[in-house]
Amino acid sequence: MKQYDAIVIGAGILGCMTARSLRRWNISTLLLEKEEDVCRGITRANSAIVYAGYDNKPGSLKAALTVRGNADMEALCEELEVPFSRCGSLLVAYEPEAVPKLEKKLSNGRKNGVPGLKLLSGPEAEAMEPMLKKGVAAALYAPSTGTVNPWLLGIAAYENALQNGAEAILGREVLAIRPCPEGYQVETREEVYQTRMVFNCAGAFADRVQGLAFAPEVKLKLDGAEYLVFDRLAKKPERVIFYQTQSSGKGITAIPCTEGNLLIAGVRKDMTIPYATSPEGLVEMLDRVKELLPETDTGLVIRSFGAVRPNPYRDSGESIPDYVIENPAPGFYSLIGVKTPGLTCAEGLGMLLAQRGAEYLSAEENPDFDPKRRGISEKDNDILCQCEQISRAEILEAIRRGASTVEAVKRRVGSGMGRCQGSRCSGEIARLLEEYGHGSL
C-alpha cells in the first residue's frame, strides 16, 4: 500500500492550491481527482472576478481572505505566469433607494481594509464607463477588483504542485475513507492508499466526501447562475460592472476578461441539473445586457454556460455565510461550501489548510520549494486555431504537459475559445492528441 503524509481529494482550484501549499513543507502529497482533468467542476464555470472584499461581513474569515487574496493576486499570478488584470469595478445603482446599500458596502469595505473605495455620483460613474445606460444614481468604485482566468490559475497551481514533488492521479474517484491507527485509508476502485492526513477539497461533493468517514455537520445545497460569453470584437466596459436592481433577482454582472472577451453573469437561481442553463434564462439575460449596456451587440454571443455554487447549511436548515473548515478528527480537514469569492481566496484557503497540516505533523519546511511555474509560451508560425491565433507549438506543449482531450488543450492554451468555438481546429487537435497517444475524437 502506498503511503503519503497527505491526500488531497479534488483537483479543482482549491485542491490544486492546497497540494501546492503542502509542498512548501516536507509533506508527501497525493492529489486525487475523479474527472479526467483538473478544474472540471466549480472552477471551470466561474465569473473570473477577483473580488475587492466589500461584500463580506467584517471580521469573517471570508472578508479577511478576500482582501488579502486580492492584494496578493498580482504576486501569485506572476509566480504562476497567469494573466491578471486589476481592472477595478463599479457597483452601480439606478434607483435612489438602492444608494444606502452602496453606502453600507462602502463602510463594510473600509472596515475590511479594502483599498481605494469611493462612492461616485451618477455623472462621475457615467464618465468612467461611457457604455453604461444613462441615469446612474450612484456607484461604488473599487479600484482593486480584478479578473483572472479561474481554470488557468488552477491548472498553473496544479503544474507547480507536481513540479514541487506532489503526485496526482486523475480519473480516480475516492469511494471510501477509513480511519485507522496511522491515520486514514483512502480507497479508490483501483487502489487503496495510506495517509496521515486527508484534505477534502471536493467542491460540490465536499459534504459527501466527508460523509465517507464522518457525518458532516454542514451540508451543501447547490444553486447556480448562467453566463454568456461574447466575441472579442464586442465592445466591453473597462471595469467589472455589478448591477443589482432593488427588486432583487434582476441584476447582471459584466466582466471584461483577461482574454479580451466580455463575460456576462446572471443572477443566482435554482438549478436542478448541475451546470445546466435554461433557454428562457439565456434570452432574458440578453435583454438585461441591452438594458445595462445599450450599445452591446447581442448578436456577438459565442457561448453560454451554467455555473454551480455550493451553499453550506446546518441540519437545522440555517445557512452559513462564511467558509467552513471542518476538522472532525485529527488530520482530517474539510473545506465545505467555498463559493464566491472562492477564486479570490483559493490560495489563502490552500495555505490555511497546509499550515494546519504542517502544525499537525510538525513538518519541516521544504527548502527546495519553487513557487515559479512557467506559462506556455512556446509559439511557432503554424496557426491551428484561427480565431484565437493559437499555434501548433502551444498545443503540443499543452499535450506534453498532460492535456489528453481537445477540451483539456483548450483550457490550457485557449484554442477553440473563439468565435467558431473550435469547429475548425478541433479535428486537427484531436489528430495531434491521437498522434501523441491520447484516444480519439
Partner 1 sequence: MDHYDILIIGGGAAGVSAARAASGRRVLLADRGPALGGVLLQCTHRGFGNNQTGPEYMEHLLRDFPESVELALNTTVLSVSPEKTALLSGREFGRREVSFDHLILAAGCREIPAGALPIGGTRPEGVYTAGQMQALMNLRGYVPEGPAVILGSGDLGLIMAKHLAEAGLEVTLVEKKDSCGGMARNRRCLSEYPIRLLCGDTLAVLHGEKKLSGCTTAKGVYLPCKSLLIAVGLRPEQELIAHLAQPEWLTLCGNCRQVHPMVEAVVQEGKQAGAAVKKAIEVCL
Residues that bind partner 1 (CB under 8 A): 229, 233, 273, 275-283, 286, 301-306, 381-383, 386, 389, 391, 407, 419-424, 426-427, 431, 441
Residue with cell 485509508: 185
Cα 337 from chain centre:
13
Nearest distance from C-beta of residue 45 to partner 1, angstroms: 9
**Residue 432 phi/psi, 5° resolution?**
-65, -40
Closer of 85 and 277 to partner 1 (Cβ): 277
Closer of 280 and 368 to partner 1 (Cβ): 280
Nearest distance from C-beta of residue 424 to partner 1, angstroms: 7
Amino acid at 332: F
415/395 Cα distance (integer angstroms)? 8
378/356 Cα distance (integer angstroms)? 38
Alpha helices in 81-217 (DSSP H): 99-112, 122-128, 150-163, 206-211
134/294 Cα distance (integer angstroms)? 10
> Is the Cα torsion angle 101, 103, 109, 114 positive or negative in sign?
positive
Total residue count of the chain as it appears in this document = 441
Nearest distance from C-beta of residue 224 to partner 1, angstroms: 11
Q: Give the C-alpha distances (Å, rounded to integers) separating 323 from 208, 336, 355.
A: 17, 7, 17
Nearest distance from C-beta of residue 285 to partner 1, angstroms: 9
> Are the beta carbons of 145 and 87 closer than 8 angstroms?
yes
E strands, 170-217, where? 174-180, 183-188, 192-200
Closest CA to 335 of 6, 100, 107, 8: 8
Nearest distance from C-beta of residue 431 to partner 1, angstroms: 7
Closer of 38 and 351 to partner 1 (Cβ): 38
87/75 Cα distance (integer angstroms)? 16
Closer of 345 and 406 to partner 1 (Cβ): 406
Nearest distance from C-beta of residue 229 to partner 1, angstroms: 7
Nearest distance from C-beta of residue 347 to partner 1, angstroms: 28
175/365 Cα distance (integer angstroms)? 32
DSSP secondary structure string for all residues of 335-403: EE---SSHHHHHHHHHHHHHHHHHHHHTPPB-TT------------S-EEETTTTEEHHHHHHHHHTT-
Closest CA to 349 of 27, 5, 3, 10: 10
Closer of 175 and 441 to partner 1 (Cβ): 441
Nearest distance from C-beta of residue 261 to partner 1, angstroms: 12
401/60 Cα distance (integer angstroms)? 38
Nearest distance from C-beta of residue 339 to partner 1, angstroms: 20
Closer of 136 and 409 to partner 1 (Cβ): 409
Closer of 310 and 418 to partner 1 (Cβ): 418
Closer of 279 and 367 to partner 1 (Cβ): 279
